[in-house]
Structure 1
């Protein structure tokens, strides 16, 4: 189907690929990303999001005699993230899971070489409310979707 037809279209598939670069006097950046998401349920009362996104980024900064280079990958996954069609009355997902995995390496050079590696996996489990459980490695917290704040970490 080439276009959305209310009452006939059951799902929409989004496929977006972007590549970009930028260069300035002391800064360079290269980014590649892909998003592949399907929203289904247009013939019923709920909208269900499934899919993934990925990105690869490299950034370099030069200051005086030092350089910082950031290299990273990220992958996002949506698994059955379900919204009620009437989002004004029910703004938060009823159910489903969103997962983000990031791997970054920062190398700083100058008088010495310093390398920092970051690997994080974040899982949000939706429950129909503004306060949802979020896990980050060994930590379990509460993400407040209405205020974008996190607390209650254990």
Structure 2
């Protein structure tokens, strides 16, 4: 059996604890700068390589941070009428499941944005009128039965 030097084990535990804290922590502005610079240097497909330069950040962390937060091509604002029209056309072509494919045709938009825009605003099956008294009563009834399981309750209110 191998015996370990207690100081060495303590140092290792400390390093692991720091790494875990780092993973839980917010990205700093310096990390954001470094990430953007590294993507500029190595491209958008070298996430393992890029993560090697950012201690405590995985390739997945880096890809997510860049594509969802830092990407200068990402549009975060209001959808234009043209984007809405294009999204409606793309959903009719690809269906309402292939959001990454659809997003490739909408410059600056991500699949998640397309999905949320469709399901919350453009889907013609979404009922946009004020809630009825009957719907309110259904919600109360099913809340008494199901508690706060809102996804389950929503199944009893199609289009809402």
One fold, TM greater than 0.5? no
Q: Which structure carries more strand by proportion?
A: 1
TM-score bracket for the superposition, by shorter chain length: under 0.3
- TM-score w.r.t. structure 1 length? 0.20
- TM-score w.r.t. structure 2 length? 0.20
Larger gyration radius, structure 1 or structure 2: 2
Q: Which structure carries more helix by proportion?
A: 2
